[in-house]
Structure 1
């Protein structure tokens, strides 16, 4: 019911999610119960840290990777089995389903983490770059989720999609990547609505700029792409980026920034917490929360002004006050009394607006 109401006021709910989901998270679970989780893209960065933290907490982790050396490394970790899975290859996904079924543990959780990044101005981007990026970030999530959904439904488990603050933000050069994460946000909402009737909860985790290999991988791809043409009006930016990438790689820079431990904790909460949230914003700096909140508010206000059915400032804040306890966890959509209370409020709120228009 909560997601149904949220559909009517997406922007406002996004603001509440951003405002309220910045606190540290901790999971409520029984350590050692050996619930099994599959994490795609578990070789480095967020995927690797999450896999290691969950395994250390006593859960069994199927860690997705593509290369033999990475598979060997992951198999050395207790409570972990490496699974060869390239999210762009259906045959590997199908083989992973077969393998995990054969293990007999079932599957409680799926973490769609595998992702790539490509940077280019929209009017200079190549269609092949779009294809590559969306094949991993969007269609990869679709393929893996569809393949493992029967196992998750059987266990009444959890799905966690690793989105990004770029699921809210965008900017010059990041249109392709942000577009893929905006798509993932919409997919997450739809999937959550569809699977709620089967006892499955779906969450999105929106990390900020934590230490990750994704930027270095993007740099390597940019330097190795001999077919890339110049960026026309934006060529000076491309040259700056090439110079920066070469400098970083020559210096042996690997993972710059804050380690993503907080992201892993958010994933653990989403997978095993008693009351999982719909969204988790996890950022290493206050300014990143500020960017994201400001953008959500800007979009909400832009949608609200200049048309016949816009709401007043007081009406908007009345709605925010009513929804705040649900976003903060003080009330729950799953509680029948809370759900009834909010439904009645929404009906009265909308009817009042309708009567004023008459």
Structure 2
């Protein structure tokens, strides 16, 4: 970390999946006045984001390895933690008849189990700062369609986890669930291609910056108020 990147008195935000897409947009937005722990697995892409922010450092951990999560947070030694954003996630479509237990396990591990484990490890720091947890969920956390048993299943479970955590930590830690519709990201491109949609038009989808601005609203809310849930949808169907 360079001298300019020293956290000093900045509040600290840990953002998973911060090397691209929604997570990167949130890192840039909150990075204006927070010290950012840039979560990811690829050192090169994580370092690129770290170098682009006023105050940041890498938080490298493989979220498929649940046993590595708490030690990674301990090794990072944050002096405080004011915001935890769960943005990392997996998404693909597959019919139930063609989905293996390993595929279900893999998506639930990253989208749900890792969220629970990182939250558990971070709660003492978040309680000490009266901090906030933001879970980037999805419209799929409310409804499921053909091919979405895995993804919607994880997002339904994430919504339940977030709702329960909010009540368990009420008065200590603020907990918010953000439910975007389709967002213009690399993941969306891959998802549309997997569904046979060849003519991708990112302009009809939500921008990552719009989600980052919603996260900013949540983080900047007055101490006496909490945004419990936000649903953000594209104007076009």
**How far, CA to CA, are the matches of 1:33 and 1:272 in structure 2?**
17
Aligned to 1:166: 140
Shift of 1:147: 1.1
Report if aligned partners of 2:66, 2:114 keep a CA contact under 8 Å in 1: no
Q: Is 1:276 the equivalent of 2:199?
A: no
Aligned to 1:68: 43
TM-score normalised by the chain length of structure 2: 0.86
In the alignment, structure 1 residue 88 sits paired with structure 2 residue 38: no
**Residue among 187, 194, 213 paired with 1:265:** 213
2:179 counterpart residue number: 206
Q: Does 1:136 align with 2:86?
A: no
Q: Secondary structure at the match of 1:196?
A: coil
Q: Secondary structure at the match of 2:96?
A: coil
Q: Aligned partners of 1:155 and 1:90: how far apart in 2? A: 25
Instruction: Give me the whole-angstrom Cα distance separating, in 1, the residues matched to 2:169 and 2:120.
Output: 12
Cα displacement (A) at 1:254: 10
Measured after TM superposition, the shift of residue 286 of structure 1 is 5.7
More strand by share: 2
- Distance in 1 (alpha carbons) for counterparts of 2:113 and 2:26: 22
Specify every segment of 5 or more residues in structure 1 that has no aligned partner in the other structure, as ranges.
1-31, 223-240, 288-358
Report the Cα distance in structure 1 between the residues aligned to 2:201 and 2:119, rounded to whole angstroms. 30
Larger fraction in helix: 1
Matches within 5 A, 1:150-161: 150-161=124-135
| Alignment-derived partner of residue 59 in structure 1 | 34
What's the offset of the Cα at 1:68? Answer: 1.8
Within a 5 Å distance, the mapping from 1:1-358 to structure 2 comes to: 34-56=10-32, 58-77=33-52, 78-101=54-77, 103-104=78-79, 106-197=80-171, 199-217=172-190, 241=195, 244=197, 257-274=205-222, 275-285=225-235, 287=237
Do the aligned residues in 2 keep the contact of 1:46 with 1:264 (CA within 8 Å)?
yes
Unaligned runs of 5+ in 2: 1-7
* SS of aligned partner of 2:170: helix
CA deviations 1:63-117 (Å, max 9, x no partner) are 101012112202212222121022222354234312432x43x000100111001
More RCO (CA 8 Å, sep 6+):
1
Change (3 A) 1:89 1:108: same
Deviations 1:226-277 (A, max 9, x none): xxxxxxxxxxxxxxx4x65xx57xxxx7966442211111112222311221
Asked if 1 retains the 8 angstrom alpha-carbon contact of 2:17 and 2:40, the reply is yes
CA offsets, 1:22-64, max 9 Å, x none?
xxxxxxxxxx9611110001111110101011112x1111110
Distance (Å, rounded) in 2 between the aligned partners of 1:255 and 1:85: 30
TM-score (norm 1): 0.58
How many residues matched? Answer: 226
- Cα distance between partner residues in 1 of 2:66 and 2:136: 20
Q: Contact 1:85/1:92 (CA < 8 Å) preserved in 2?
A: yes
Larger Rg: 1
Checking the alignment, whether the CA contact within 8 Å between 1:53 and 1:264 is kept in structure 2 is: yes
Work out the CA distance in 2 between the residues paired with 1:134 and 1:83: 21
The CA distance in 1 between the partners of 2:102 and 2:202, in whole Å, is 27
